[in-house]
Structure 1
Amino acid sequence: MYLETAEIGYAENHLYAGIRESLDKLKQQGKYRMGVCTSKRADFACQILALFDLHEHFDFVDGGDVGIEKWQQLQVLKEKGVITEKSLMIGDRYVDLTAAHRNGLQSTGVLWGYGSRAELEQHSPRFLFSEPSEMTQI
């Protein structure tokens, strides 16, 4: 039942305005390796990226597992050399920011997701973006 619901539900995702253009520009600039670190299962995350034809923008996709917290995902990515201390975690919830800080990474909060300005500011992100286009200016 869960798998069936999840498979139907993934198609209900949508892109926030400006995301595609910003990811296109970041990819074109070629200054950064970009990846996805999500609490979703990796196969679902890949399906969502494929749905929007965005998979080629990312160098890796790391999905969560039951009982694994976001900070632990980042820790493993660091241990494997997938990310480094120079990596920047971009997220819309406090869990993304605290996971970054716990792993010695800088963080960026984004206001077009689920978290509020107050929630994100409370966790001291290096940057706090209101619009996706701001990501292309770092």
Structure 2
Amino acid sequence: MIRCAIFDCDGTLVDSGGTIHRALGMAFDAHGLELPPRQRAQRVIGLSLVEAMAELAPGLDDAQHSAMAETYRQSFVTLRGQQQVDEPLFDGILSLLDRLEAAGWLLAVATGKSDRGLRHCLTAHGLHARFLSLQTADRHPSKPHPSMALTAMADCGAVPEQCVVIGDTAWDMGMAKSAGMHAIGALWGYHDRDELNGSGADALAAAPADVFDIAENLVRIAA
């Protein structure tokens, strides 16, 4: 039996909200727009960039949303070049990955980041090689479309009943449910428990240390 744990990145593996908000501010300023408050802006974390811009600036057209997404990408590159990108791992993530791997789980990532952004993030923490499948917005529709999760599952040779998505947003829970997978809501991230429950979470984890037992129980019940 192949078991696969598919992690979101921003808000689940790493706390990147501050850096994302700074890059968004640079992009909005470049286009003469006022960035919404951080509490609202961080709600779009997890969406692909164009979809995120459409949520934050609904009065613009598709071409403007695409232009803002590109400005955001360049802003993030600028911040990285200035060594101002701060994406610390959440406490307990390394121990969780260790425990899952020791129990035979295969690990994957499904994220709204780009390939480049995810590679930089995971490499900085020495994690890149630990994930068998890395799925990003460069090659898939935005969450909650199931494409990223289904491709990660195929890479691992698993079936939906033996896959668990761990994420902090409604988009992650929707992706999991659309793919027929179990969904664990990460309460340490950017959406609250009502949003996670409302979008189909099978269980909520207050901290990374809670995830292992929840995941084991979900796949055991499905077996």
Q: Which TM-score tier does this pair reach, normalised by the shorter chain? A: 0.7 to 0.9
TM-score with structure 2 setting the length:
0.55
List runs of 5+ in structure 2 lacking aligned partners: 1-70, 217-223
Q: Which consecutive unaligned segments of at least 5 residues does structure 1 have? A: none
Greater helix proportion: 2
- The aligned length equals 136
1:107 to 167, 176, 183: 183
Q: CA deviation at 1:75?
A: 6.2
SS at match of 1:40: coil
In structure 1, what is the Cα distance between the partners aligned to 2:148 and 2:130? 20
1:6 aligns with 76
Q: How does 1:1-138 map to 2 (within 5 A)?
A: 2-7=72-77, 8-9=79-80, 11-29=85-103, 31-65=104-138, 68-70=141-143, 71-74=145-148, 77=151, 81-82=154-155, 84-85=159-160, 86-137=162-213, 138=216
Structure with bigger gyration radius? 2
Check conservation: 1:46, 1:61, Cα contact below 8 A: no
Letter in 1 for 2:92: G
The whole-number CA distance in structure 2 between the counterparts of 1:135 and 1:127 is 9
Q: Which protein has greater RCO, CA pairs closer than 8 Å, 6+ apart?
A: 2
Query: What TM-score do the two structures reach when normalised by structure 1?
Result: 0.84
Amino acid at match of 2:114: R
Amino acid at match of 2:75: T
CA distance in 2, matches of 1:123, 1:75: 16
Residue type of the alignment partner of 1:6: F
